[in-house]
Chains A and B, each alone.
Chain A
């Protein structure tokens, strides 16, 4: 392992020499311009800000995830222009006769709509970047969208992008390009979040007030990311205002949140704490009846982060998230679940051209179910716990060349199920052995401007997964009956899977205003979610690779055409993708996945394929902004033992998917938004007949997922009023979810007809019609 890593480093070094010498032939001296781009008022670093230089050489670079940029240029005088969405362009002149450190603080562009300023922003996609399938969500745009229950929700906003689909009405869960809900890598400050939703999926675990940046990769995943097949959702928390103390918050129909941030030492260290809690259950306390009063239903979460400037070359970050859902039915039944994550990071600048980050990451997801009656008193708990060490080294040898190399090592522990019981209970204490896996990856990626028109990214990730003891490992016959049991000792390697994952992407400028992009990426996945519920349940079970479960492998090719119109005021894109998936997991009919130690005997393995076309048209400037997105797609699975081994539609297969999003800025104070979505219904299994057994009418089924739920569509409206004073700002958001009251089907069930017990009826359950909400936000 070490050897390969050294080799990669050497290779990087050699390539840098090669790169450098090519330029050295023409210029005797080269120096590096580097620094951090941040917001002038809050000190928040600006991820992805563009730094353009003109002079002896005209080129540019963008700031990395920590706001750092580095560009090495021949001696000379340069004009530097730094820009970022929603900020005034900052210009500066630099005499480059030595390495120069230039920190750039950008000022927010004023709220007044100024035509000149808007055109200077050049908002929109970067034609030259080989980043097909990557989308960045602007938190300011999210704030203006209609909300459900008055909650600003990042996960619901990304569902409006082409290729991203909602898991269901009001759900925060999402599917990307035919992948399952568990095939999205959701990262909060680099820590994986295993269950990204609250209250059965109706809310995301991300408090919008604490989030700075949201980046979604659905196609060309950079080599530093791995571990899930379908997408990477990289969410970065705010660092905290290092200039002055600020308090902001929101009061919604369902929950309230409060955020405090400020300097610990001005310009040197800052903190942010954001807390959120729902309060529907508070009203239950008003009832005198204990049958109502003693029920519980709430969630809360807490985000906290500290960052410290430890000298000119070092920066430390400490961030954490803690969230919990609690549901209780009197004293009889209690269920609670939640995530806790922690990240400690150290940015170190070895030299202006070498930037490194080392992260130590912790992630924990657990649930507990407690059941207590006179007869029974027991609890079930389940835990997924990760420890992760990651090191990344970025190298900026010359303009148009950037290297990133690094490694990641994750230790996973899964406690699948542990039953604890009081002495008087009829239930025995019982525990399934913990499952240990060790996931390692080495990666290198190279961004290279090949010609004026062609930019490429070439990457390789080598991932390895070792299944570790201790405990019993099983094999099963084709019918799922246990055949052999072997025992392995503590820490013993039972099985290792190694997968090279090449990633290539390019962008070719076909004109000043258009480009063609393409990519190929292989992804693997070593953690899998088993679920048999329609909406996803906190008790769905995570399982790692084992002697039987192999890593899931996905190969995706995608290509697209991107075009800007009217100097970037409008942009259009069309992308196509095809994805092959191996070692996909499903389970046998009648599988019992709860606290089952022979779970692998219940599983079936097969393959999947997904392909589609995504079209997007966007208007970036003026009073009216927004986009229209359309996706045409197909997602299928083929698994031996299901559907007679024939291909069948995955549940999330939806042929058509449309989103229309528009925001109109009436004046400084008022803005209005509307969004409309339409999608073909999910592929589901409907009964094809009925029969009588045990004096009950039962249904018979033939093909898997051959039926269709009715099409889903709805319109949401919102009005946002923002008032700004010298010191503070307040925002009112009025939203109406499902404005024309469409009764979208949440589930369809089949039962005896109420009027004629001799007949059978299909009953549609719909959840949300005309849901109004008000939310008030403040900042001072």
Chain B
């Protein structure tokens, strides 16, 4: 829903004025070395993965230092617990813990003596039913949009996140949706891509994740920064202890379609 409103300034600026864009050098204050945690528990046997990296300065390259030798534990409310093993630099994976419906999971990560905690409960699974490609006229061409469809369960709050791959390339951007206005409906959700134009023959794959309200808030606030809000800030994380990133326990369902 919110994405549509950000089209407005873009239309106005591009129609009314020819804006000029130029790279500049800014003298930015730098603060690096913050702990970044990306922890995910999917439905099923796993392996589930926790990625630990550090942030770097603005002018540094986009390869981020991995955190090795951390202690990472995942446990559920049935008493199952597992310490994850580092299977690659900064990559910690499970071997036994299963992701199950209606279960709550606890993440503990200990890095250089500081502990980071998060809790997250598996949301109700909703399946992606259809995946369509539609087009509409815009400024002399036709823009193709991707429309996943699903049936939202009535009476409970559901949150969704869509991850789009075009010819195998994961697309940047945040596509999230809550059922605040669509509760209990058959929902056809148009997705807007940032830079990529779809062409005939392209293979589009969409993964629909059911996420929790905390994870939705995380991505919502992340999207606000991407949209260049007047006062950007770090996304609202469900991890305590001051780490960047999030802990998502989720279900997912995937479909593919070839652009006609």
Please list the residues of chain A having a beta carbon within 8 angstroms of any beta carbon in chain B: 199-200, 202, 280, 287, 289-292, 294-295, 297, 327, 329-330, 332-333, 335, 369, 371, 373-376, 378, 419, 426-428, 430, 531-535, 537, 539, 588-590, 592, 594-595, 651, 684-702, 704-707, 710, 743, 745-750, 752-753, 757-769
Contact = CB atoms under 8 A, between A and B. Distances in A.
A692 B36 contact: yes
Interface of A is mostly: loop
B16 A369 contact: no
Given A333-B4, A689-B56, A533 B138 contact: no
B28 A691 contact: no
Contacts of B231: 532, 651, 685, 704-705
B38 A694 contact: yes
B35 to A, nearest CB: 9
Contacts of A768: 17
Given A280-B16, A375-B188, A700 B62 contact: no
B138 A330 contact: yes
B168 interface: no
Contacts of A589: 221, 233-236
A700 B8 contact: no
A691 B229 contact: no
Contact of B19 (A535, A746, A761, A762): A746
A747 B228 contact: yes
Contacts of A746: 19
Interface stretch (B106-114, B178-186, B198-206): B178-186
B188 A691 contact: no
A345 B141 CA distance: 53
Contact of B220 (A590, A702, A752): A590
A202 B19 CA distance: 14
A426 B64 contact: no
Contacts of A199: 12, 16
B126 interface: no
B172 A696 contact: yes
B245 interface: yes
Contacts of B1: 594
Interface string B1-31: 1101101110111011101111111101111
Interface string B60-98: 111110000000000000000000000000000000000
B31 A702 contact: yes
A290 B139 CA distance: 8
A746 B235 CA distance: 24
B21 A689 contact: no
B225 A699 contact: yes
A329 B234 CA distance: 33
Given A534-B228, A590-B236, A693-B246, A375 B134 contact: yes
Contacts of B20: 743, 765-767, 769
B258 to A, nearest CB: 19
A428 B180 CA distance: 9
B103 interface: no
Contacts of A531: 230
Nearest to A756: B61
Contacts of A759: 59, 61-62
Interface of B: 1-2, 4-5, 7-9, 11-13, 15-17, 19-26, 28-32, 34, 36, 38, 53-64, 134, 136-142, 145, 147, 149, 170, 172, 180-190, 217-218, 220-222, 224-225, 228-236, 244-246
B224 A295 contact: no
B15 A297 contact: yes
A644 to B, nearest CB: 12
Contact of A532 (B26, B137, B142, B224): B224
12 contacts: A295-B139, A332-B136, A375-B189, A428-B185, A430-B181, A535-B9, A590-B224, A687-B58, A693-B245, A698-B235, A764-B21, A765-B21
Contact of A699 (B60, B181, B232): B232
Contacts of A690: 55-58, 60, 62
Contacts of B57: 689-690
B217 A291 contact: no
Q: Which of B15, B38, B183 has the most CB of A within 10 A?
A: B15
Contact of B229 (A289, A426, A532, A692): A532
Contacts of A694: 38
Nearest 7 Cβ contacts at the A-B interface:
A590-B221, A375-B188, A291-B137, A691-B55, A589-B233, A426-B187, A590-B236
A749 B19 CA distance: 14
A689 B233 contact: no
A689 B12 contact: no
B229 A533 contact: yes
B29 A702 contact: yes
A327 B12 contact: yes
B53 A767 contact: no
Given A327-B12, A537-B9, A688-B31, A426 B55 contact: no
B116 to A, nearest CB: 14
A532 B225 CA distance: 11
Given A693-B38, A700-B34, A758-B62, A376 B186 contact: no
A768 B13 CA distance: 11
A375 B63 contact: no
Contact of A761 (B7, B23, B172, B190): B23
A584 B209 CA distance: 39
A693 B181 contact: no
B223 to A, nearest CB: 9
Contacts of A651: 230-231
A378 B64 CA distance: 44
A150 to B, nearest CB: 14
A208 to B, nearest CB: 20
A702 to B, nearest CB: 5
A297 B12 contact: yes
Nearest to A688: B31
Nearest to B218: A590
Contact of A695 (B32, B170, B217): B170
Contact of B11 (A327, A426, A592, A748): A327
B24 A704 contact: no
Given A294-B137, A651-B231, A427 B185 contact: yes
A689 B11 contact: no
A200 B15 CA distance: 13
A295 B15 contact: yes
Contacts of B21: 763-766
A654 to B, nearest CB: 15
Given A333-B7, A691-B56, A594 B24 contact: no
B36 A693 contact: yes
Given A375-B188, A534-B230, A589-B234, A706 B19 contact: no
Contact of A426 (B31, B38, B182, B244): B182
A117 to B, nearest CB: 44
Given A428-B182, A594-B2, A691-B64, A375 B190 contact: yes
Contacts of A588: 236
Nearest to A651: B230
A758 B185 contact: no
Contacts of B218: 590
B244 A691 contact: yes
Nearest to B12: A200
B30 A688 contact: yes
A193 B233 CA distance: 32
B9 A200 contact: yes
Given A373-B136, A690-B60, A701-B232, 18 more contacts: A287-B140, A289-B137, A327-B11, A332-B138, A373-B134, A427-B181, A428-B181, A533-B229, A534-B229, A588-B236, A685-B231, A691-B55, A700-B34, A704-B231, A747-B228, A759-B62, A765-B20, A766-B21
